[in-house]
Amino acid sequence: MKRISVFLIGLFLIPTLFLTSCDKGDDTLVNATPAFTLMKDYVINNNLDINKIITNTDGEKFVVGPPASEVDVPAYIAKYTILDIRNAEAFAAGHIEGAKNIAFSNILTEAAAASKPILMVCYTGQTACYATALLRMYGYSHTRALKWGMSGWNEATAAAWNGKIGTNEADGHANWTHEGAPQNNVFGDPVISTLSTDGSTILKNQIEKVVAAGFKTASGTDVLNNPNNYFINNYFNPADYQAFGHIDGAYRILPLTLADNSYKGLDPTPGAKVVTYCYTGQTSAVVTACLNVLGYDAYSMTFGMNGLYNTNTAWASNQWGADSKPKNLPLVN
């Protein structure tokens, strides 16, 4: 009778052991390496950290400007598989010769079929930069985005940028300040739910999820008017942070990489909307793509400083309508 009782107690204990051996956070066993750490190590060891996505190991920045003149166009377009992610109507009205019109959701499939380095094209360069970052992280390290998008190619396709300049809503706004940056916090890592224990697989699965979700953006107007709804990171150097001014309460986390743990200055809490802004919305799109892959709830502030305060006197470069204007390069339809 005693042996039967011991046997029955053992039967009751076995399910308990199984239930308590699971980490409710990320579906890995207790004391096992968290999925985020596995992915982080893979990213660092394979030159896929955020700074290596911005500029790859061959020194190629994520954006490339349009050719200097019409005579340079044939050689320029011959270098690339050009993928245009604008809508079909805009593409039909005017596009770069040889470009293929695709949906953003198909960028991974199209990249796999590309025979040359990829040039991503959109209206303003912002969505193309987001796509470029995802493709670089996925293994297509020579992918680049057309700087300023089709707005920089020809005046006829520049409406997207031209229409966003001139409001200067940050000028004199109560939430605009020239004060120094607040002290950066130190947070834990994002939690990634997966059964995989392979860093490469975790990374690819995360990228595929981010592609399926599409470009995540926040409008400059909403961030300026409601800064408390966001965890804001101003992606400027220290001098520009104060010279331009910035949204009240914006942190300045730069460099922002995994290798130096500076990413721990960002809030990984689900629902904490991490919004990054830069000068044009293009670099912030790259950073935002990387952060979403890493498990943050991240958003790029569209049009960046240009959209909020284009006439600011601190500009030295990347000012739409000043040093950056549409060219008059050929379109086909």
| Domains within the chain, CATH numbers bracketed | 32-324 (3.40.250.10)
pLDDT of 297 above 50: yes
Residues 6+ apart with CB under 8 A from 198: 38
What separation in angstroms does the CA of 128 have from each of 133, 203, 212, 276? 9, 20, 15, 16
- For residue 286, with 0-12 CB atoms within 10 Å meaning exposed, 13-18 middle and 19 or more buried, which class applies? buried
Backbone angles phi, psi at 252, to 5 degrees: -135, 90
Residues 6+ apart with CB under 8 A from 211: 104, 105, 107, 108, 134
Instruction: Please give the Cα distance from 169 to 160 (Å, whole number).
Output: 18
pTM score: 0.90
pLDDT of 9 above 60: no
Strand order in the sheet with 274-277: 217-218, 298-301, 274-277, 231-234
**What is the predicted pLDDT for the residue at 167?**
84
Burial per residue of 174-212, b for 16 or more beta-carbon CB atoms within 10 angstroms, e otherwise: ebbeeeebeeeeeeebbbbebebeebebbbbbbbeebbe
**What is the predicted pLDDT for the residue at 96?**
98
pLDDT of 29 above 90: no
Average of per-residue pLDDT values in the chain: 92
Residue with tokens 């993928």: 83
**What is the predicted pLDDT for the residue at 233?**
98
Q: Of 170, 135, 130, which is closest to residue 298 (Cα–Cα)?
A: 130
Instruction: Please give the Cα distance from 271 to 304 (Å, whole number).
Output: 22
Neighbours of 166 (CB within 10 A): 10
Backbone angles phi, psi at 299, to 5 degrees: -140, 145
Q: Band the pLDDT of 31: cuts 50, 70, 90.
A: low
Neighbours of 50 (CB within 10 A): 23
- For residue 316, with 0-12 CB atoms within 10 Å meaning exposed, 13-18 middle and 19 or more buried, which class applies? exposed
Check: CB of residue 286 under 8 Å from CB of residue 53: yes
The answer to which of 29-33, 46-50, 184-188 has the lowest mean pLDDT is 29-33
Q: Which run of H or E residues covers position 246?
A: strand 246-247
Instruction: Please give the Cα distance from 233 to 173 (Å, whole number).
Output: 19
